[in-house]
A and B are shown apart, each in its own frame.
Chain A
Amino acid sequence: GQNIDQPTEMTATEGAIVQINCTYQTSGFNGLFWYQQHAGEAPTFLSYNVLDGLEEKGRFSSFLSRSKGYSYLLLKELQMKDSASYLCAATDSNYQLIWGAGTKLIIKP
């Protein structure tokens, strides 16, 4: 079957760094997305990885290892507004997005 695993909840301190991990099992793989979703709002796009390695975009970076079926989202210099759920989603061979349930990130002052 197809499956995305990510931690349910994480807590971090304002100004610190946090890494949110995601492992995936899909029938075929064509890329991995990270989305941010604030409570009661729609998901917004953060990053897309298709090749192995790290993609950096400001305070956020995303890493992919295709051989390990693994990705992480790295958030630096955490701000209170980063409190949200972070959803990992992998595309399968039919171009369908397989979504994780999201990691709720709580930022403490």
Chain B
Amino acid sequence: DAMVIQNPRYQVTQFGKPVTLSCSQTLNHNVMYWYQQKSSQAPKLLFHYYDKDFNNEADTPDNFQSRRPNTSFCFLDIRSPGLGDAAMYLCATSRGLADYNEQFFGPGTRLTVL
């Protein structure tokens, strides 16, 4: 089945220790997104790629970086995680950027910062 896969599902890191979350997709979609979602809050878009074209949200901290080496894979790097970065990180894809394109989500990675 075509899908969005995120690894790991649960990640524990120490304060200040870099961490990388990964996402892969078999849908061959052009757009990949990274969201941060804290409990009972709306998903917050961090950045998205349209193919290799990277788009950073204005309020995304510099501590968050992303790489998309090819169509299928996208990575989220948190350079120096703080306690406030503990959250669920959701990867999503869509066929295009047009408004009618639904987003398909991976199962998420829950990040704990000790």
Chain A contacts to B: CB under 8 angstroms? 4, 8, 30-31, 33, 40-45, 48, 50, 87, 91, 95-97, 99-102, 104
- Asked if B45 and A48 make an inter-chain contact with CB atoms under 8 angstroms apart, the answer reads no
- Asked if B98 and A95 make an inter-chain contact with CB atoms under 8 angstroms apart, the answer reads yes
* Chain B, residue nearest A98 (CB): B42
- Asked if B100 and A48 make an inter-chain contact with CB atoms under 8 angstroms apart, the answer reads yes
Total residues of chain B contacting the partner, CB 8 A: 20
Q: List 7 A-B contacts (CB under 8 A).
A: A30-B99, A40-B88, A41-B107, A42-B90, A50-B99, A95-B98, A102-B42
Contact partners of A44 in chain B: CB under 8 A:
105
Q: Interface SS of chain B: helix, strand, loop or mixed?
A: loop
Chain B contacts to A: CB under 8 angstroms? 40-45, 88, 90, 97-100, 102-108, 110
> Which of B40, B88, B97 is close to A102, meaning CB atoms less than 8 Å apart?
B40
- Asked if B43 and A99 make an inter-chain contact with CB atoms under 8 angstroms apart, the answer reads yes
Minimum distance in angstroms from B14 CB to a CB of chain A? 23
- Asked if A99 and B99 make an inter-chain contact with CB atoms under 8 angstroms apart, the answer reads no
Q: Could you tell me the distance between the alpha carbons of A41 and B107 in the complex, rounded to whole angstroms?
A: 6
Contact partners of A100 in chain B: CB under 8 A:
42
> Which of B40, B44, B97, B108 is close to A95, meaning CB atoms less than 8 Å apart?
B97
Q: Could you tell me the distance between the alpha carbons of A99 and B43 in the complex, rounded to whole angstroms?
A: 7
- Asked if B99 and A91 make an inter-chain contact with CB atoms under 8 angstroms apart, the answer reads yes
- Asked if B41 and A101 make an inter-chain contact with CB atoms under 8 angstroms apart, the answer reads yes
Q: Could you tell me the distance between the alpha carbons of A72 and B59 in the complex, rounded to whole angstroms?
A: 30
Q: Could you tell me the distance between the alpha carbons of A96 and B100 in the complex, rounded to whole angstroms?
A: 11
- Asked if A45 and B102 make an inter-chain contact with CB atoms under 8 angstroms apart, the answer reads yes
Contact partners of B90 in chain A: CB under 8 A:
42-43
Q: Could you tell me the distance between the alpha carbons of A87 and B102 in the complex, rounded to whole angstroms?
A: 13
> Which of A33, A42, A45, A99 is close to B42, meaning CB atoms less than 8 Å apart?
A99
Minimum distance in angstroms from A14 CB to a CB of chain B? 24
Which of B41, B90, B100 is most buried by chain A, counting CB atoms within 10 A of its CB?
Answer: B100
